[in-house]
Amino acid sequence: MKLHSLLFVPGDSDKKFAKARTCGADVLILDLEDSVAPPKKAEARAAVARLLDDRSPRDWAFFVRVNPFDTGLALDDMAAVVKPGLDGLLIPKANGAHDIARIAHYLDAFETKAGMAVGTVKILVVATETPVAMFNLGTYTPAHPRLVGLTWGAEDLSAAIGATGPRETDGSWTEPYRYVRTQCLFAAAAAEIAPIDTLFADFRDAAGLERSCRLARRDGFTGRIAIHPDQVATINACFTPSDAEIAEARTIVEAFEANPGAGTLGIGGKMYDIPHLKAARKTLAAAGQ
């Protein structure tokens, strides 16, 4: 499953969904949580369920962000949307892998009822939205078979700890949230699942988004949340390896395959070792190769 660009779409807006489905995102996340006002939750749930019934061909994965379990709405959300056509759930405010095990247990039942193969619906987790969650990031290793990635967020955590805000005056993250971002990255890498960077709030600042995405990819993130269709092309461009990167990675992999006993090789006048080989394989995987 390709996870470079993941676009949030309010679950109660057919107009925004119509625009989003042709924007080139790898994943559309139909949202039943923060972007939907409480009086409209049931309406949004029904709307998303209807969208899943449309079996037209699509080149993106259909995810739904359900409401947190402590709202009492999550099971109703799952009962409505776990049906053929659903590719995954985004779980907000998870406190650790025990929450994922519980959700997976419910998914087993809902998939069976819907006539789906057990394990069809994958799980992506917003892993840093509560203080407790920060102490449980290591529990995602080894990863549950349904778990495909971890992402992080600052706003809910900021509110939970009583911070006045997560950003400096120049827009950069304050120290606690730089730590949160780093820990999410390491937790995903340890679990061998996708680390997905959080959203870039100013959807009009294309240059700022590009800078931020290139830094995120440099640091090890493999994709990013988008909040507007106009952000998708930039995110895809930043997280998709270039032709030159793919060619170099293929050269490295082929050289080591031709010399299976080697730990270090000279290629084109440069020395490469096993960490370079691992990085090359990840580059090819990111390119779908």
pLDDT at 282: 86
* Nearest partner of 99 among 120, 76, 68, judged by Cα: 68
Class of domain 5-240: alpha beta
Task: Please tell me the distance from the alpha carbon of residue 118 to that of residue 113, in angstroms, as a whole number.
Answer: 10
Note the pLDDT tens digit of each residue in 137-183: 999 999 999 999 999 999 999 999 999 999 999 889 999 999 999 99
**CA geometry: angle 106, 131, 188, nearest 5 deg:** 65
Q: Which pLDDT score is estimated for 284?
A: 87
Residue 267: exposed, middle, or buried by beta-carbon count in 10 A (0-12, 13-18, 19+)? Answer: middle
The rounded distance, in Å, linking the Cα atoms of 279 and 176 is: 29
pLDDT of residue 285: 84
| DSSP letter, residue 173 | B
Q: Are 47 and 11 in contact (CB under 8 A)?
A: yes
- CB atoms inside a 10 Å sphere around CB 84: 12
Q: Domain map of the chain by residue range?
A: 5-240, 244-286
Regions in the chain scoring below 70 on pLDDT? none
Question: Can you give the pLDDT at residue 55?
Answer: 87
**Strand, coil or helix: 4:** coil
Distance of alpha carbon 153 from alpha carbon 202, whole angstroms: 15
- Maximum distance among all Cα pairs of the chain, rounded to whole angstroms: 65
